[in-house]
Structure 1
Amino acid sequence: MRTFAIGDIHGGLKALIQVLNKLELKDGDRIIFMGDYVDGWSESAQVVALLLELSQKFDCVFIKGNHDVWCQNWLKDANDVNPIWFLHGGKETMESYEGFSVEEKKQHLTFFENLPLYHIDTENRLFLHAGFTSLHGVEKEQFKELFYLDRSLWEMLLALDSRIEKDSLFYPKRIQHYKEIYIGHTPTTNYNEPNPINIANVWNVDTGAAFRGKVTGLNIYTKEFVQSDSLPSLYPNETGRNK
């Protein structure tokens, strides 16, 4: 069985389709999506529709991201338009739902409401959108919104001295609980890196699809990955979140 982690999509349906085609999915494959399916490019509702179709054919795990929370709130109450969300892709997401029926919107709301905040597989790999702060692992995290908002985990790793041994008192306790950790949320393109970044046992697979980057699909066993074209090239008449 193959397992793929797919990074942030942000309404880039064309990019998602490219990645899925390159993965050449087979029966028995598992796909773990790292969250932020919406907001940015013009096909957010269409991305969710495709994810629902995929879940009927493959073993899929869909993690909840912060943009998914905002979209969920709007689908539940059309008057609940977070102003930050509206300016960071929400407007485009709302427009993408034009032509979708009330029943389809209800299906999408159910999809968002049922998204887990994290997933731990049978080999003790942790998948979540952003991060966590508890030294005792995600099960002991008191502030659940950190699973889709936290950046301290990644910032800690960026500053981690590679000379520190894993059994040292100075080695970060957060990451010792898991064989591997997969995250999105903070684009690797922020650091002029177009590909996934691995630090210690953590893999960041958000390669900047919301902005000028790409969508990435990573084989968690081989660490081989495929990528879409850059999102601006797929949506040349749009700006995404490059506002």
Structure 2
Amino acid sequence: MGRTLAIGDIHGGLKALKQVLERAKLTQDDHIIFLGDYVDGWSESAQVIDFLMEFKQKHSCTFIRGNHDELVRKWLENDDLNPKWLKHGGRSSIFSYTDYTKERIEEHMNFFESLENYHIDDKNRLYVHAGFQNQNGPAFEWDPIVFYWDRTLWELVIAMDHSIPKDDPTYPKRLTHHPEIFIGHTPVTRIGEENPAQRATVWNVDTGAAFKGPISILDVDTKEFWQSDPVFTFYPEENGRNES
């Protein structure tokens, strides 16, 4: 039986992605769950999508939607030049599409549209880019935008009193529906961590690839993990999102 592997934010770092996949020594039995944010940051955003589209032909994959993936989809569809997006990695994604044909862009749009807002595996573990807010669980969420923009789930678990037992009425109800939740979106470097970090039932696999950190892969059963070299070392002439 293969492993279930969760991959954190990539942000256009194709060279680092290839390195960490090699380090994890994938087999055909593994199931790889990408937690979103494939684009915006380093210069190979479009090329990351090319790679993932080919990768899924050879491996069992689940692709989760990230907020940056949705921003790029909107730009490809409507030429939506959101000024905030441009300051947070958008320019690098636009540049990466310079020589792409209309037909190839259409294939990328289909990929973005096929992304899942969240995934629940056969052990009831939840995989989502950012989080969810509804206390009854993700299936009850009113607006799907929460799944790829919310930060309150991670903020909740890093601030909560971890001595509260799960059967206490003050224990956060959001955390009672799944034994474990795997997210990206908010780099763990913001709380001084360098590796995939656990707080309560939540594992955060975003180790800051858009900035100074690596891309990380986590075996969700054993909690063994693999990391690329810091992504910025592959792109020495670029700033990634360090200037934003």
Instruction: Quickly name the TM-score band, shorter chain normalised.
Output: over 0.9
Answering whether residue 161 of structure 2 is matched by residue 161 of structure 1, we say yes
Match of 1:65 in 2: 66
Three-state SS of the structure 2 residue aligned to 1:72 is helix
Match of 1:90 in 2: 90
Answering whether residue 198 of structure 2 is matched by residue 198 of structure 1, we say yes
Q: TM-score normalised to the size of structure 2?
A: 0.98
Q: Distance in 2 between matches of 1:60 and 1:84?
A: 31
Match of 1:173 in 2: 173
Q: TM-score normalised to the size of structure 1?
A: 0.98
Match of 1:151 in 2: 151
Match of 1:134 in 2: 134
Amino acid at match of 1:214: P
Q: Distance in 1 between matches of 2:100 and 2:24?
A: 29
**Post-superposition CA distance 1:51-105 (Å, at most 9, x none):** 0011100110000000000100111122x11111111111000100122221111
RMSD: 0.8
Ranges in structure 1 where 5+ consecutive residues have no aligned partner: none
Q: Distance in 2 between matches of 1:182 and 1:124?
A: 12
Q: Distance in 2 between matches of 1:82 and 1:114?
A: 22
Three-state SS of the structure 1 residue aligned to 2:218 is strand
Match of 2:76 in 1: 75
Match of 1:215 in 2: 215
Q: Distance in 2 between matches of 1:27 and 1:67?
A: 29
Q: Distance in 1 between matches of 2:200 and 2:88?
A: 31
Q: Distance in 2 between matches of 1:11 and 1:198?
A: 25
Amino acid at match of 1:57: K
Match of 1:4 in 2: 5
Three-state SS of the structure 2 residue aligned to 1:31 is strand
Ranges in structure 2 where 5+ consecutive residues have no aligned partner: none
Q: Distance in 1 between matches of 2:200 and 2:156?
A: 11
Match of 2:19 in 1: 18
CA positional deviation for 1:191:
1.4
Match of 1:47 in 2: 48
Q: Distance in 1 between matches of 2:23 and 2:232?
A: 19
CA positional deviation for 1:109:
0.4
Three-state SS of the structure 2 residue aligned to 1:198 is strand
Q: Distance in 1 between matches of 2:12 and 2:30?
A: 23
Three-state SS of the structure 1 residue aligned to 2:90 is helix
Q: Distance in 2 between matches of 1:212 and 1:185?
A: 15
Match of 1:183 in 2: 183
Q: Distance in 1 between matches of 2:85 and 2:75?
A: 10
